Amino acid sequence: MKLPSLFRRTPFRLTLLFLALFVATASAVLAYVYVASASEARARAEAGVRSEVEALTAVYRTRGVNALNQALVDRTLRGGSYLYLLMDKDRKTITGNISTSPLEPGAAVQGGRWDDFRLTDTDEEGRVRKRQAIGVEMPLSGGEQLFVGEDIGDIEAYLSRLTQALWGAMIMVLVLGVGGGLVISRRVEKSMGGLNRVVMAVQEGDLKVRAPVTHSGDELDELGQGLNTMLDRLEASMASIRHAGDAIAHDLRSPLTRMRAKLEVALIDADAGKVSGVDALGIALDEADLLLKTFNTVLAIARLQAGGAPDPKVFDAAELATDMAELYEPSGEDKGLEFSAEIEKGLMIEGNQPFLAQALANIIDNAIKYTPSGGAVKFRARRRSSGEIEFSVTDTGPGVPDEDRERVLQRFVRLDNSRTEPGSGLGLSLVTAVAEAHGGRVQLDEGPGAYGGQGPGLRVALVLPPASGTAA
């Protein structure tokens, strides 16, 4: 992976951004730790020096300069980090563990004069070193000067080690942050690379390719699953389109051939004076109307399958059912059928009313068409116990065998007993497309059985979900 390419990756840039914010925060915290530690060490050192000065001045006040001198000798012999020096009025050394005051001579200050200075020392290897120290020079009532200081070189060394540790921690944070950024960027880039390869393959026309899914549950995995689902639907749609094209070509071949043959025969007969040209054109127009109806139905199915029900609105399906019953009752009576309707009130659904009306028309029309004279057709609209809205049409016609009930819902499928009736085999296909576009389904069941020497009949149900908030 090339470095310039890495810097262009969003995950790596986000990692660097968060790393910068973390480093800034860590730097502020570490700086506070250093300052607080240094201040605390300085305050403790000053407190120790001040306590020592108070003890020595108390000895001077109560027992005089000789007692103070003896106290300084005792403290010097015990050793330690404290520095002592007692000077007379002329700043000549009386006693102490240092020869001269490290503080420059100055005016006496009530409460003492504080200052920092450096002690020159040698280490175990004989190397000269300068150690940090602090001290205070106090004027005594007899004119003497008392200096008390403390070697804080150990504190300075501690702060130096602390500084090194803080810098080491900062470097570790940077290394771990950059390393983590590289790992995360590489992982995300690998996942995104797989998705990009899928997209490029689809652009080249390969609908079989699928995105790798690790089932990790992260966003990229969800994106891959969503992409695969979309490709599954796209592949199914393309297969459906190819099937529809093949079916249309197969089913329209006969009508087109028949229309051409009739036109050819009509032309010959017209030339021979056997038929009029008007009759021949009428036959051709009838065939053309049938073809146009088939194309329009296929277009409606494709529209529903591609984008669902257009312009859905909430309306009372009971009113639609009543209109359909009133529309087809005369047709049933003209054929000598017993047509009846049973419609409940208040069947609120959300959908496209014209498409639903076309679906109901196809179901009722099929029932009337395939039920022999003397039979019965019953149309019902009701609410199921589940809350779903059901439109059903039950007839006493020849019915559909169990093994063919799924097949008759497909496009251009016509059973042998329906070949004598005009049609394209798209009626129930359109009903199925309307149902699926509205989130519903189509159910085919056996009818009421033998009825007046007919049957077993067929029951076709269009089941739809109720409008939101209206389910019982």
pLDDT digits (tens, 9 = 90+) for 67-103: 988 988 888 888 777 888 888 888 888 888 887 887 7
Q: Which two tokens stand for residue 8?
A: 């262009």
Per the structure, the count of domains in the chain is 3
The confidence band for 315, taking pLDDT boundaries of 50, 70 and 90, is very high
Residues 296, 301, 306, CA angle at the centre, nearest 5°?
A: 125
176-197: pLDDT as tens digits: 777 776 777 677 767 777 777 8
CATH number, domain with residue 341: 3.30.565.10
Shared domain for 355 and 455, answered yes or no, is yes
Answer for the pair 344, 316: CB distance below 8 angstroms, yes or no: no
232 and 371 belong to one structural domain: no
Look up the domain containing 330 and give its range: 309-464
* 382 plus 457 within the same structural domain: yes
User: Does any domain span residue 433?
Assistant: yes
Q: Are residues 271 and 313 in the same domain?
A: no
Give the tens place of pLDDT for each residue, 98-142.
878 877 776 555 556 777 777 776 666 666 667 778 888 888 888
Do 276 and 325 lie in one domain? The reply is no
Look at residues 259, 283, 305 and tell me which one is the last residue of a structural domain. 305
Q: How far apart are CA 182 and CA 203, in angstroms?
A: 30
How far apart CA 176 and CA 184 sit, in angstroms, is: 12
Q: Give alpha helix (H) positions in 273-352.
A: 277-307, 317-334
pLDDT of residue 418: 47
Instruction: Name the domain boundary from 111, 137, 159.
Output: 159
Instruction: Phi first, then psi: give them for residue 122, nearest 5 degrees.
Output: -120, 140
pLDDT of 381: 94
Q: What is the CA radius of gyration of the chain?
A: 51
Domain boundary among 263, 278, 305: 305
Is the same domain home to 313 and 441?
A: yes
Write down the pLDDT at residue 208.
80
**Structure confidence by residue, pLDDT tens digits, 399-458:** 787 776 677 776 555 554 544 455 555 668 778 888 888 888 988 888 876 666 676 888
- pLDDT category, 8, cuts 50, 70, 90? low
Is residue 183 included in any domain, yes or no? no
Predicted local confidence at residue 303, as pLDDT: 64
pLDDT over threshold 70, residue 244: no
Q: Answer yes or no: do 123 and 256 share one domain.
A: no
pLDDT at 391 over 90: yes
Report if residue 81 sits inside a domain. Answer: yes
Same domain, 278 and 342: no
Query: Average model confidence (pLDDT) for the chain?
Result: 77
Asked if residues 457 and 424 have their Cβ atoms less than 8 Å apart, the reply is: no
Q: Which CATH number does the domain housing residue 68 bear? A: 3.30.450
Residue 394, pLDDT above cutoff 60: yes
Kindly report whether the peptide bond that precedes residue 372 is cis, defined as omega within 30 degrees of 0: no
My answer on whether 394 and 372 are in the same domain is yes
Strand partners for 454? 451
Q: To the nearest whole percent, how much of the chain has pLDDT over 90? A: 11
The gap from C-alpha 99 to its chain's centroid, in whole angstroms, comes to: 78
Looking at the domain assignment, is residue 323 inside a domain? yes
Whether residue 357 is found in the same domain as residue 457: yes
Q: CA–CA separation, 10 vs 18, rounded Å?
A: 12
Indicate whether 251 pLDDT > 60: no
Does 39 score more than 90 pLDDT? no
Residue reference for tokens 């306590």: 51
Whether residues 293 and 313 share a domain: the answer is no
Strand 458-464 and strand 389-395: the pairing is antiparallel
pTM over 0.75: no
